[in-house]
Amino acid sequence: MTFVTSPLTPTQLLDEIPQIVGWLQSNGIDNLVIEYGSGCKLDPELLWRDIEVRRADLVSFIQSSIEQGIYSPGEADLVVQDRDRTFECLFCHESDIHLATDHESILTQAAQRWLDKGYGGFKLAASEDWEPF
């Protein structure tokens, strides 16, 4: 299933990263693959390449990417996946978050948090239409 938030501010996007780290930790996901995408300030041949990062280092990796001017929240794509590709989180250049995972507990926690924060958004299950959550 996939969830997509409504557009968020850069601060709101960054505030979700520690939450996502917690969800990954509670599901035993330690090894991540990061990809810089559209809008990142890198040579084109360096975009969409797998960069292995440990879950514990995700926050500092993203912060470093911002400080180096590579990634700008809400203006560029940054993809976070687990090595087995059962979890994917896209911090989108359109200022929203796309979360796709097979982990039901992560989806439940994300939906509850995003509803509580007023982020709204939509969900898509296999062979269904987008609907609000």
Of 10-19, 21-30, 75-84, 109-118, the one with minimum mean pLDDT is 109-118
**Residue boundaries of the structural domains of the chain:** 2-132
> pLDDT, tens digit, for every residue of 43-71?
999 999 999 999 999 999 999 999 999 99
Question: Who's near 117: CB < 8 A, 6+ residues apart?
Answer: 12
Whether the model clears a pTM of 0.75, i.e. scores above it, the answer is: yes
The tokens for 32 are: 């991540």
Query: What is the full DSSP assignment across the chain?
Result: -EEEPPP--HHHHHHHHHHHHHHHHHTT--EEEEEE-TT-SS-GGGTT--EEEEGGGHHHHHHHHHHTTS--TTTS-EEEEETTSSEEEEE-TTS-EEEEES-HHHHHHHHHHHHHTT---EEE-TTS--EE-
